[in-house]
Amino acid sequence: MIERYTRPEMGRVWSEESKYQAWLRVELVVCEAYARRGRIPEDAMARIRQKARVDIARLLAVQERVKHEMIALLTSLEEQLGPDSRFVHIGLTTNDVWDTATALQLRDAADLLIAGQERLRQALGALALRHKDTLTVGRTHGVHAEPTSFGLKAAVWYAEAGRNLERLRRARAVIAVGKLSGAVGNFAHVEPEIEAEVCRALGLEAAPVSTQIVQRDRHAEFGAMLAVAAASLEKIALEVRGLQRTEILEAQEPFAEGQKGSSAMPHKRNPELSERICGLARLIRTNALAALENVALWHERDISHSSVERVILPDSTITLDYILHLTTFIVEKLDVDPARMAENLELSHGLVYSQRVLLKLTDAGLPRQVAYEIVQRNAMRAWKERRPFFDLLAADPAVTERLSPGELKGCFDPAWYLRNVDAIFKRVGLLT
């Protein structure tokens, strides 16, 4: 992922230095397991602990010649350790180390994503509570529907963020799995007890069964979970974009002092952060598809998945980390305009109260379809003639013979639509 979208902590997880450090860590923990069994003499183990280091410059130089990353690491270690290097990589194949080390990186990346998701959820909860009783118009199909609470909109996001938090925790568990079962997974040269002990020491689960690799359905599931989390961020960003449209202008993303929106039009204040989130979420979805393509490999494995994962695993975690941070920033600094929301609520001439009138008429004894036709007839006139819906209803004998002026007026009380908001907030855990 390009530097523009890479936050430092997540970037460090996927640096070349971190990758090789994880490889070396796996090799050393395997050596420790063998040393405890007497296969590696204690004095040799002490020298290995002291001397084994990651030398990136040397690794890359050797790799240029041998065209194999693991052999480059082992060659570098041989230069450092001399005769003691014969105790390194006993019975292992490249993917024993590679997949187990990648699990360490993915686990660390998942921890950062979980922390980011927790911060976003807290920000969404605060936004929801702040605007619990802020009236706004609900829209379905992009058209005015009924009054609702802006806080309720944020409460929906809050609940979804909680589900994504659980998804990311499950994704962490699914991916935190190592293997040391050898070239085809049959433990021909390493005992299962070694694998279990090493994985335990690394804080990983041992794969119950494997081929030369940890099975890629795990990585596909991980990628899918990231894609779902990204889609939820896109959902929030898309709503902000919609609300920032000039014709609506009920909420705007942060706009810093001195910031410019357009090189040509000085008046522009564009939702470019939200647009960036929507764009980057597409990448994470695309990478999830690539992860699914990696599940089916030839026999005990081929290497077609490897080149893909070098891109999608860092890129998806780095990108999700970035847009989690960006979404949290937008939510925390969102410029909400309750006055504009109140104005927009009146734009449709009171038509947002049509269902209340419909139900009042049915309560008064009219068949539903008859009541529907009366209300719809007046609603269409209100649209066409740009007249208050209430005035048309109050002048219609089909309505006034069933409803008193007070009953009709009561249908147009926006507070009615907030009466159950507290109950909803309790259900999602925002109120006790």
Q: What is the mean pLDDT of the chain?
A: 96
Cα separation, 341 vs 146, in Å, equals 13
Position 261 pLDDT exceeds 90:
no
Per-residue pLDDT of 160-179, as tens digits, reads 999 999 999 999 999 999 99
Q: Looking at residues 359-380, what average pLDDT do you find? A: 97
The residue type at 350: G
Place of tokens 């969404």: 124
Taking residue 181's Cβ as centre, other Cβ atoms within 10 Å add up to 28
Position 106 scores a pLDDT of: 98
The model's pTM is 0.94
Q: For residue 187, how many other CB atoms are within 10 A of its CB?
A: 17
- Write the single-letter amino acid at 175: I
Residue 262 is a catalytic residue: yes
Helix H or strand E segment including 214:
none
Bridge-based pairing of strands 205-206 and 251-252 is: unpaired
pLDDT at 401 over 80: yes
First and final C-alpha spacing in the chain: 43
Please tell me whether residue 144 adopts helix, strand or coil conformation.
Answer: strand
From 76, 89, 219, 262, the catalytic residue = 262
Q: Would you call 15 a catalytic residue per the annotation?
A: no
Residue 98: predicted pLDDT: 96
Average of per-residue pLDDT across 36-65:
95
How is 332-384 classified by DSSP, letter by letter? HH-EE-HHHHHHHHTTTTTGGGHHHHHHHHHHTT--HHHHHHHHHHHHHHHHH
Task: Quote the CA–CA distance of 69 and 253 in Å, as a whole number.
Answer: 45
Say whether pLDDT at 194 is over 90. Answer: yes
pLDDT digits (tens, 9 = 90+) for 97-147: 999 999 999 999 999 999 999 999 999 999 999 999 999 999 999 999 999
- pLDDT band for position 264 (50/70/90)? confident
Buried b or exposed e, range 338-373, using 16+ CB within 10 angstroms? eebbeebbeebbbbbbbebbbebbbeeebeeeebbe
Vertex 17, ends 12 and 20: CA angle to 5°? 120
Q: Is 249 left (phi over 0), alpha (psi -120 to 50) or beta?
A: left
For the chain, give the percent of residues with pLDDT over 70. Answer: 100
Mean per-residue pLDDT for 325-347? 97
Q: Which domains does the chain have, with CATH numbers?
A: 13-87 (1.10.275.10), 94-254+262-344 (1.20.200.10), 351-411 (1.10.40.30)
Q: Which of 68, 76, 131, 141 is catalytic?
A: 141
Query: Which two structure tokens, joined as six digits, stand for 308?
Result: 């893909």
Question: Which candidate, 105, 123, 129, places its Cα nearest to that of 17?
Answer: 105
Residue 186 CA to residue 283 CA, distance in Å, equals 37
Residue 78 CA, chain-centre distance (Å), reads 43
